[in-house]
Amino acid sequence: MKPLILVVDDDVKITAMLRRSLDYAGYRVREAHDGMEALEVAEAINPDLVILDIMMPLIDGLEVCRRLRAGGDTLIILLTARDELSDKIRGLDSGADDYLVKPFSLEELLARVRALLRRNTSEPDKTLVFEDLTLDPARREIRRAGRLLDITNKEYELLLLFLSNPQRVLTREEIMERVWGYDYSGESNVLEVYIGYLRSKMESSGEKRLLQTVRGVGYVLKD
């Protein structure tokens, strides 16, 4: 069955344009035009992916994103006119899987939709283990020395990538492409911020560092 996508924006011209483009690309599409309607429709149809504007009446997109994430693992792409790094991190911290700044090209949006849906079908079917770090895909839980880590969806995807490639150096470009779904441009430090978040959580009880920097290249999970 074709993936079902919910498009949420209070601008009816944008929702109409996105609906036409996504329908032409082979997806099933539903619309909502404010945050309250978005939550109601999402509960009713259980979409595979939500394209969600941040600035909306009644309930803004960030709060909608938090509630959707709390209720399940629906993929979420946030749309916004804000392009500051702090805005991007706030959006990703709310549980979004990706973040796209207006104005955007339809080709880029469709590429990110394809990348997210493709990654969502490649979850491992067994627990991944490296040293005292474990990832349980059935529960989407990560533990360090038996301690459950309180992580966001994006942090989970990062650790999934590293645990699927232990001892292998991953370049910044590869990480950005596989986790965020777009090419690393060189000027953003979103990746470094999230590596810092993960290290803080993974080492909060004094554990040794497993997620290590390879200067000028990227990062590697090693003992």
Do the first three CATH levels of 4-120 and 128-221 match, i.e. the same topology?
A: no
pLDDT tens, residue by residue, 81-137: 776 667 677 777 788 888 888 888 888 899 889 888 876 655 666 899 999 999 998
pLDDT at 182: 55
16 contact partners, CB below 8 Å, separation of at least 6: none
Residue 51 has pLDDT above 90, yes or no: yes
Residue 184 has pLDDT above 50, yes or no: no
Residues 216 and 81: their CA atoms lie apart, in Å, by: 32
| HSE (side-chain half, CA atoms, 13 Å) at 69 | 23
Question: In what helix (H) or strand (E) does residue 44 lie, and over which residues does it extend?
Answer: helix 35-45
DSSP for residue 84: -
The answer to whether residues 131 and 210 touch, using CB atoms and an 8 Å cutoff, is yes
Residue 183 has pLDDT above 60, yes or no: no
Given CATH 3.40.50.2300, say whether it is the number of domain 4-120. Answer: yes
pLDDT at 103: 84
pLDDT at 33: 93
- How many C-beta neighbours within 10 Å does residue 223 have? 11
Given CATH 1.10.10.10, say whether it is the number of domain 128-221. Answer: yes
- Using DSSP bridges, classify how beta strands 133-136 and 128-130 pair: parallel, antiparallel or unpaired: antiparallel
Residue 151 has pLDDT above 70, yes or no: yes
User: Which of 117, 141, 211, 130 is closest to 170 using CA atoms?
Assistant: 211
Provide the residue ranges of all domains of the chain, joining segments of one domain with +: 4-120, 128-221
pLDDT at 207: 93
Residues 110 and 129: their CA atoms lie apart, in Å, by: 34
pLDDT at 122: 56
